[in-house]
Chain A
Amino acid sequence: MAILEVDNLKAYYVTQTFGRSSTVRAVDGVSFHVNKNEIYGIAGESGCGKSTLLKAISGLVKPPLQILGGEIRYNFADQQLNILDLKDEKQRRRLRGARISLIPQGSMSVLNPVRRIKKSFEDVIYAHLDVSEGEFEELVKNHLEALGLDWTVMHTYPHQLSGGMRQRVTIALSTILRPEIIFADEPTTALDVVVQRGVIQLIKKIKEEQQNTLILVTHDMSVHATLCDRLAVMYAGEIVEEGDVKSLFGSPKHPYTSMLLSSLPKIGDKSARVSAPGAPPSLANPPTGCRFHPRCPYAVDRCRQETPALRQLNETHRVACFLQEAGSMELQGRAANEQ
């Protein structure tokens, strides 16, 4: 059952400073769905629009970001709603925290640096639930314990904690109300590798315990490989490939995905790797036709003129590429690089 359906979403940044205006087409016609209880990943390089996509579907749309078209439908157990219909900030706020929750990039922006951690928890809980002091303590204690955190952390200020610890506290804060959907925006970027592992474990633990749906946005393919069930790869504002993580890594269908995967180094493998040539295009001025064609080694004339639609290749796999429509093309995946 799909808990979230996104239909042809278009979200642009329209800005005007001192007489110069520009339109950045950050999300340009994106459609996908997320099933209940799964971990769905959105991958892509910086500037591909994935953070904007996350903002749009979690309802954090403020100028200069505008939604120019499409639908976002949430199918909760007791109600269905289109988040774009919620014009009232109050309604959105009630949705956030209780039903959906966002783990942002950079934990400091969530925690108030001049208040102790406990206050941040109080703010969130008392805004949504009507509980007594004792019930509050019990709720928080149980939650922290389940996550392997200590109650003493409540009495500290954010700057007293290490970066990894802050991130974990932020995750605890974002999940204390047992949201049905958790959005995570680069939760492990800028973290050390050991701390990253701890954070990934924590996210997994929460998901297992609370049985929520997780939508994870990051450019780090290794994190996707470790956590996700299904994965969508974004390029220049569009989804170019989507599928279950094993087949996507094992036999990618889009040249971009293949390029992404083959450029990743791995310990134990000193064989030469090649990185993707060129750079992602500007979203204010994307190339004609298929946006990847300037960098694609398999590009043909049609790719320059027409934009391929995201088509269902088999039950689980979708891809936007003309060459795959003709017949399944063999591309290098992770498995091909094993020694």
Chain B
Amino acid sequence: MNSEKLLVVDNVTKVFTKGQGFVKSKIEAVSRVSFALERNRPEIFTLAGESGSGKSTVAKLILGFEIPTTGSIVYKGNPVGGLKGKREFIKDVQPIFQNPFETFNPLKKVQSYFHDTERNFSKFSPGKYPLTERALELVGLTASEIKDKYPSEMSGGQLQRASIARALITNPSLLIADEPVSMIDASLRMSVVNLFKRLKDEQKVSIIYITHDLATAYYISDRIAIMLRGQFVEVGAVKKVLDEPLHPYSQLLKASVPAPDPETRWSEDITLSDLETREYTRKGCKFAGRCPKAFDLCREQEPEHHAVDDRLVKCHLYA
């Protein structure tokens, strides 16, 4: 059964210990997270949440930069271990990072990464980089836009597209995109986001899209998982989860997205959490402190995932 799946994340937990000696504190950055992507059905799966929700840690776990404390991550039937070798894995799974100016070494020409990737993963004849040209075409960049350029000579939008192109050279089956558009101006985001849609539809690439921007998530995702303090609180088809959110946190998130429309403005105020660490170490449901519908059980016991209306909701209200 497992060979049917592209990626299986099974009950993964990641604990970080801060401090040394006597003063240690443990933070469960990722807590019992599970989901799976099908092999022959490419999809865009979004991990949405605020900062500190653990979504970037999940990305690092999948890419192999961190190792799960418990649980397992299996890609095409093979476990994803520490980052040692695993050439096949690197060929098939590629990352796209948030800050394109950090993705590339500012002292190196951008094209060097392209050439290196092509050289390392294909038979190549010197001077000719057909895979690079193809990848640039896919993202809508011309060769002259990156030829001999350093990262600081390109705009954020161009550079991010170059970053995506580099990830496409090896013809991967899975892209892990960590906040790929948050550093690009709002008006240029669409070109990158539309590109992801095209990649899924035409190139059959699955994408794990990590973001805190629900509007773009709604626009391109198939499924979405809302994360809070390392846990999935609601998982399901994006239209369902965002049109009618069930978990109180999902509802709060949706209500907080400002609409680009002066006719709709918020009517009521919200309260904000003060110190982040308090929510991490809270017993019971992590959202109980802010939840308008919380009751006693919420503060005592962590809720289970309940299957409701074709999605999973981690909330006592739906027991």
Contacts and interface: CB of A to CB of B under 8 A. Distances in A.
Interface stretch (B119-127, B181-189, B294-302): B181-189
B258 A249 contact: no
A334 B261 contact: yes
Interface string A258-274: 01110111111110111
Interface in B274-318: 274-276
A273 B256 contact: no
Contacts of A196: 256, 258
A226 B265 contact: yes
Interface in B220-276: 239, 242-243, 252-254, 256-263, 265-266, 269-276
A309 interface: no
Interface in B178-214: 185-191, 193-194, 212-214
B256 A265 contact: no
Interface size class of A (residues with CB under 8 A): 35 or more
B273 A162 contact: yes
A254 to B, nearest CB: 13
Contacts of A82: none
B10 to A, nearest CB: 28
Contact of A223 (B193, B214, B252, B258): B258
A208 interface: no
A96 interface: no
B86 to A, nearest CB: 34
A201 B266 contact: yes
B50 A193 contact: yes
Contacts of B194: 272-275
Nearest to B272: A198
Nearest to A163: B51
B105 interface: no
A28 B219 CA distance: 37
Contacts of B253: 193-194
Nearest to A270: B219
Given A46-B156, A273-B194, A280-B155, A264 B272 contact: no
A275 B262 contact: no
Contact of A192 (B212, B239, B242, B269): B212
Contacts of B51: 163, 192
B113 interface: no
B105 to A, nearest CB: 21
Interface string B102-138: 0000000000000000000000000000000000000
B269 A201 contact: yes
B221 to A, nearest CB: 10
Contacts, number: 148
A46 B160 CA distance: 15
A56 to B, nearest CB: 22
Interface in A157-172: 160-165, 168
Given A260-B187, A275-B194, A279-B188, A267 B242 contact: yes
A268 B191 contact: no
B212 A265 contact: no
Contact of B276 (A162, A246, A267, A272): A162
Contacts of A302: none
Interface string A165-199: 10010000000000000000000000011111110
A273 B260 contact: no
Nearest to A229: B262
A194 B262 CA distance: 19
A225 interface: yes
Contact of A264 (B260, B275, B276): B260
Contacts of B57: none
Nearest to B182: A190
A261 B158 CA distance: 21
Contact of A266 (B215, B239, B275): B215
A196 to B, nearest CB: 7
Interface of B: 50-52, 155-158, 185-191, 193-194, 212-216, 218-219, 239, 242-243, 252-254, 256-263, 265-266, 269-276
8 contacts: A45-B187, A194-B50, A196-B256, A264-B186, A264-B187, A267-B214, A275-B194, A279-B158
Given A192-B50, A194-B270, A267-B218, 6 more contacts: A220-B186, A246-B262, A265-B190, A267-B215, A268-B242, A270-B239
